[in-house]
Chains A and B, each alone.
Chain A
Amino acid sequence: MIGVIDYRAGNAPSVGYALERLGVDHRLVTTAAELDGCDRLILPGVGAARATLDSLHASGLVEPLSNRVRSDGIPFLGICIGLQVLFEHSEEGDVAGLAWIPGSVRRFDDEQRVPQIGWNSVHLRREHPVTAAFPDGGHAYFVNSYYASPADPDHVLGETAYGVEFCSIVAHANIVATQFHAEKSGELGLRILSGFAAWAP
């Protein structure tokens, strides 16, 4: 059972529809109690970093999430803001993140239009079960003004160019996160969700 974290500023229902299409068991999780019985978790996101973190704190989800993912080690997928909040710090609103992965989140410079909105290609830096069915250089849908910069290059699974080369997929132990919207990246995005649903790290 995949738990999809459904907080105020998120788009959990879209992720739910995608999992439904894939025939994967899932439930939307709004409280800590609903985490029981979930053996993997997805943290989606469309919003701003601060709104997302505030909303997770307000729902009392931060500590139980951390316990399930960091201590119990169940597979975790972050999407978009769900990737950005994993780092130590974000320039967006100058907020502290969950700090599950070393590094920070920075804003694109204004040499290009910000936000980046649209389909961009993702270059895979290594093999990983979650991206096994995703072709190197395949296109995915991005909507972001900020990007993550992991401190450890080994945590970079995918890279994308938008003025800078940035980390578009991060992977570390039982944690994977995509800057693009896997649930809104057509059939290639569904392959990533499907890879995650079958992943046994």
Chain B
Amino acid sequence: MGALMLTKRLIACFDVVDGRVTKAQQFQDNIDVAPAEELARQLYDDQIDEIVFYDITASAQKRKIDLETVRRVAHHVFVPFTVGGGIRSVDDMFEVLKAGAEKISVDSMAVRNPDIIRAGAEAFGRQCIVLSTQVKRVGVRAGIPSGYEVFIDGAREATGLDALDWVRRGEDLGAGEIVVNSIDRDGTATGYDLEITRAVADTVNVPIIASGGAGTVDHIADGLTTGGAQAAIISSILYSPRLDRNVGVRELKDGLAARDVLMRPYLL
């Protein structure tokens, strides 16, 4: 028993540029959606389980994360809040936590300097460190036995790292959760890449978060069942102007419950 009582989570993802949420497609062509603070407040009221905020230009612009926006969002969000983008050191992590985040997401920086995972877990506990990975199906080849390679810097740079080798190393170094973000599916609303999500879930024992591609309730349900993920990152389905119709948290949860996925009940 027991383990079954923990519910699956719906995590709203914000790609933030200059304090505003944007929506990309395969990591490109970001279009403007809304101020991060406003969307966060709206999704909290709609009982989203969690929010993750990526300052997507911090890393490329070699600047620190936008702490002011983090602080403004944290003021309205009384559910867990993860922040990533441009985090290079334990001191950077400390500032983000003090701005009101619970968890730190590391991605490209962790590939360049894997020790940041260990140092972060040591300073703040492993539950604080989320390893986010951008993975792309490249086919099985020398050095890439899983057929999935890790990319960094907004999916622009191949690393030569095998996705499963990297997540195993990330877990060993102290990552408390792992995000499997499919570059091929990002923003396409064609469903998560279930194959790599499942493979990662079977490789590590920390919670897995499916990301990239959710366009329908069925996609989310598949990620949380067939994909073996404990949580699903969604964004397009909630607010992308590219979709004909966006769906609210309540409708998503009702749909997931109808598909026998255990969710935190919507409070009336």
Contact = CB atoms under 8 A, between A and B. Distances in A.
A184 B44 CA distance: 11
B124 A117 contact: no
Contact of B3 (A20, A112, A186): A112
Interface residues of B, number: 40
Contact of A13 (B2, B80, B98, B127): B98
Contact of B128 (A47, A116, A161): A47
B41 to A, nearest CB: 11
Contacts of B2: 112, 161-165
B27 interface: no
B3 A143 contact: no
A15 B78 CA distance: 9
A72 to B, nearest CB: 29
Nearest to B2: A161
Interface residues of A, number: 47
A17 B74 contact: yes
A152 interface: no
Contacts of B123: 9, 47, 51
Which secondary structure dominates where chain A touches chain B?
A: mixed
A183 B175 CA distance: 23
B7 A118 contact: yes
B127 A186 contact: no
A1 to B, nearest CB: 21
Contact of B176 (A8, A20, A115): A115
B146 to A, nearest CB: 20
A115 B127 contact: yes
B97 interface: yes
Interface in B226-268: 230-231, 264-265, 267
A178 interface: no
A115 B99 contact: no
Contacts of A90: none
B57 interface: no
B9 A188 contact: no
A48 B146 CA distance: 34
A46 B124 contact: yes
B78 A190 contact: yes
Interface string B1-27: 111011111000000000000000000
Contact of B5 (A114, A115, A161): A161
Interface of B: 1-3, 5-9, 44, 47, 49, 74-75, 78-81, 94, 97-100, 102, 122-128, 176-177, 205-207, 230-231, 264-265, 267
Interface of A: 8-9, 11, 13-14, 17-18, 20-21, 46-48, 51, 81, 110-121, 139, 141-145, 160-165, 181, 183-190
Given A184-B102, A185-B79, 15 more contacts: A14-B102, A17-B74, A21-B78, A46-B128, A51-B122, A51-B124, A115-B207, A117-B177, A119-B49, A120-B6, A139-B264, A143-B102, A160-B5, A161-B5, A188-B267
